[in-house]
Amino acid sequence: MANLKELSKKEEKFTGGHRLCSGCGAGIIARQVLLACDKPVVIANATGCLEVASTIFPYTSWNVPWFHSAFENAAATVSGIETAYRALKKKGRVTEDINFIAFGGDGGTYDIGLQSLSGAMERGHNILYVCYNNEAYMNTGIQRSSATPKGASTTTAPYGKQSTGKVQSRKDLTAIIAAHNVPYVAQTALGFHNDLISKVQSALACGGASFINVLQPCRLGWAYPPEETVRIGKLAVDTCVWPIYEVKNGEYKLNYKPKEKKPVTEWLKLQGRFKHLFRPGSESVLQQIQEDVDKNWDKLLAMCKS
């Protein structure tokens, strides 16, 4: 368990003063991930909201070595850095232990970065890849991604007279990475800081490739008041829209089970991207979303040993 008292004494590796939106969860996630690091750390950051808003020249919020890469190759970039480190350490030119972490949004992770991510996982680089998943291409105009859930309205899958928003279900990337048989894979959400920090510590200690998928509410693309970010993150978990679990060496473990599984509509109704689903004629879509959530939750429970 993360010791918050001790964490509060640590030097901030991701500082304030960035230009992320008010209520944005990406900065919260980056700060908490880096607070979990006890060893020196090197960051690779894919193009996206987190990168653009935290490194407006000549300023930066990163108080650690940081490398910017394109949307699609943060995993390849951090793999190369980690490989160079191992070579230098073998030659005795580097002696200290260093952690290597990549950050990417869902567009650069689920979609155009999937190939480099899969390669890094398959090769087994000693890295942690963190996906801050805001469920669309928020940095470039709120276009749909394969992480966008069914029924959400985006600029490339808008609702209208002939549409109820995105018609496809989102990709289960956490399960895809788990299928690579890497030592550690996990899923968590903004609002569960203790869970996130503990999982980062577990990932960095696993001795191989690891991946954490963090649901990150986006007050701009999801359309809600900035102060609701943490509440919406927690509600995604309590409705089982986004379960919290981990996969250690192939074994699934549920980390949080709601005392009361809330209906998915409680999560949907807080977000403007779903408001059209509460108009007459969309009842079947809401029903399908709930059925999909129930099915996926039951499947996960059957896979988890504890």
What was the pLDDT predicted at 1? 63
* pTM of the predicted structure, to 2 decimals: 0.97
- Beta-carbon contacts of 299 under 8 Å, excluding residues fewer than 6 positions away, are none
> What amino acid occupies position 70?
A
Distance CA 218, CA 81 (A): 30
Cis amide leading into 183 (omega within 30): no
Range of the domain at 240: 4-303
Spatial CA neighbour of 264 closest among 151, 126, 165, 181: 151
SS3 112: coil
E strands, 37-137, are 41-46, 66-69, 99-105, 128-133
Spatial CA neighbour of 75 closest among 201, 210, 171: 210
What was the pLDDT predicted at 306? 55
Residues of the chain with pLDDT under 50: none
- Beta-carbon contacts of 152 under 8 Å, excluding residues fewer than 6 positions away, are 135, 136, 144, 165, 166, 273, 274
What was the pLDDT predicted at 128? 98
- Beta-carbon contacts of 24 under 8 Å, excluding residues fewer than 6 positions away, are 49, 53, 218, 219, 220, 229
221-250 confidence digits (pLDDT tens)? 999 999 999 999 999 999 999 999 999 999
For all residues of the chain together, what is the average pLDDT? 96
What was the pLDDT predicted at 39? 95
How many Cα atoms sit within 13 Å of 100 on the Cβ side? 25
CATH number of the domain encompassing residue 135: 3.40.50.970
Structural domains in the chain (count): 1
Q: Backbone phi, then psi, for 66, in 5-degree steps?
A: -140, 135
